[in-house]
Structure 1
Amino acid sequence: MVRIAILVFDGAEELDFVGPWEVLSFWAREVASEPVEVMLVGPSTEPVVCAKGLRVLPDRTLEGIGALDVLLVPGGSGTRALLTLGDPLHVALRSHAEAGALITSVCTGSLVLAAAGLLRNRPATTYWSCFAELLALDETVEPRRDDRFVDDGDVVTAAGVSAGIDMALHLVRRIAGVEQARAVRRGIQYDPEPPV
């Protein structure tokens, strides 16, 4: 069983987690050759109000959910409230990382990873206008300003918003192989051709 948790919190950017949710849930339900569980986790199981007003109900909290294979932290304006040193979320992130979970972020979720000490001496990306914030949190981060996502082994960061979809497809490829990732891309008809 592959267990994937996607964090949600007040002010989370919707597409940062809904894009990866779509990719990973489609994989779990339609393509995966082994069981895959994808869940939303939050500070509680009460509804959270996201950056653009979407209300979301987390399935569980991070406490007591057991071992994870992947933990994804989205970005959004709400990340700034999660940057306080010693935040319980940081302890949980480090604990899951130490237990072997692949820690991932989309957009300014990388700021939370940096505040938790998980990006020290690593390459990483974030939303295009937030590299100064990232480096203020940890000056040892090697900024990858032009990368859609950066895979540094046990930590994967994605640039802003839609880059989370690319990163999620990369996660499927990394965990289950290129054929399953291609099947997911085809299944969700992800063939970006921006009109502008």
Structure 2
Amino acid sequence: MTQIAIVLFDGVEELDFAGPWEVLAAWAAQFPDDRVSVFTVADTTDLVTCAKGLRVAPDHTWETAPATDVLLVPGGFGINGKLEDEAFLERLRAEAGRGTLVTSVCTGALALAAAGLLRNRPATTWWGRLDRLAELDATIEVRPDDRFVDSGEVVTAAGVSAGIDMALHLVVRLHSVERAREVRRYIQYDPEPPV
């Protein structure tokens, strides 16, 4: 079973986690033989209040969560407090140290940088925080024009909707291009911005 954990915290940006959740949970539901499980994890199972006011109940705490193969850290204004939360940063380091594929969406990359996980790697984040990413670790090769950057053990995505693209990339990486196309068709993800 491939276990995919999506991190929640107060102030998390809704689409940063819900976009990838939709992709990955659709994959798990539509293709049960692929043996994929997606769940949310937070410091407690108390309701999380997201950036735009949505309230969500996490599935697990860090202590009760299954062993994780993929960890997804979303962004949002709540990530700012996590940059100095040593217990949180140590959890990220511990996951990476166990061989977990660590991923981020939007400003979630700032937490990865603060944890030292982006040292000497290419990475991206939301366009409004690219400078902050470089400030956190001058060794990061900041890629402002990439929707997502896969540097092997770490994958970072740009802002909000780029997380959907990154999640489809994860389906490719963990299974196949064909499976990712099937998931994309199922969720009818065909971006055609009207503006």
Q: Which stretches in structure 2 are left out of the alignment for 5+ residues? A: none
1:166: which partner in 2? 165
2:146: which partner in 1? 147
Matched, 1:131 2:134: no
| Paired letter, 1:151 | D
- Asked if the contact 1:14/1:54 (under 8 Å) is kept, the reply is yes
Residue pairs, 1:62-141, within 5 angstroms: 62-84=62-84, 87-141=86-140
CA–CA separation in structure 2 for the residues paired with 1:5 and 1:115 = 20
Matched, 1:27 2:58: no
- Identity of counterpart residues, as a percentage? 63
Q: Which stretches in structure 1 are left out of the alignment for 5+ residues? A: none
CA–CA separation in structure 2 for the residues paired with 1:34 and 1:180 = 10
Report the 3-state secondary structure (helix = DSSP H, G, I; strand = E; otherwise coil) of the residue aligned with 1:145.
coil
Residue 64 of structure 1 deviates from its aligned partner by 4.5
2:189: which partner in 1? 190
- Asked if the contact 2:2/2:69 (under 8 Å) is kept, the reply is yes
| Paired letter, 1:179 | E
CA–CA separation in structure 2 for the residues paired with 1:143 and 1:63 = 33
Residue 34 of structure 1 deviates from its aligned partner by 2.2
1:61: which partner in 2? 61
Report the count of equivalent residues. Answer: 195
Residue 62 of structure 1 deviates from its aligned partner by 1.7
| Paired letter, 1:90 | L
CA–CA separation in structure 2 for the residues paired with 1:64 and 1:153 = 27
- Asked if the contact 2:40/2:60 (under 8 Å) is kept, the reply is yes
CA–CA separation in structure 2 for the residues paired with 1:32 and 1:189 = 19
- Asked if the contact 1:31/1:183 (under 8 Å) is kept, the reply is no
Residue 17 of structure 1 deviates from its aligned partner by 0.2
- Asked if the contact 1:128/1:159 (under 8 Å) is kept, the reply is yes
RMSD between aligned alpha carbons? 1.0
- What does the per-residue CA deviation read over 1:4-26, in whole Å, with 9 as the maximum and x for residues that have no partner? 00001000000000000000000
Report the 3-state secondary structure (helix = DSSP H, G, I; strand = E; otherwise coil) of the residue aligned with 1:130.
helix
1:11: which partner in 2? 11
CA–CA separation in structure 2 for the residues paired with 1:34 and 1:129 = 37
Report the 3-state secondary structure (helix = DSSP H, G, I; strand = E; otherwise coil) of the residue aligned with 1:37.
strand
| Paired letter, 1:73 | V
TM-score calculated relative to the size of structure 2 = 0.98
Report the 3-state secondary structure (helix = DSSP H, G, I; strand = E; otherwise coil) of the residue aligned with 1:5.
strand
- Which stretch shows the higher mean deviation, 99-108 or 64-73? 64-73
Report the 3-state secondary structure (helix = DSSP H, G, I; strand = E; otherwise coil) of the residue aligned with 1:39.
strand
Report the 3-state secondary structure (helix = DSSP H, G, I; strand = E; otherwise coil) of the residue aligned with 2:38.
strand
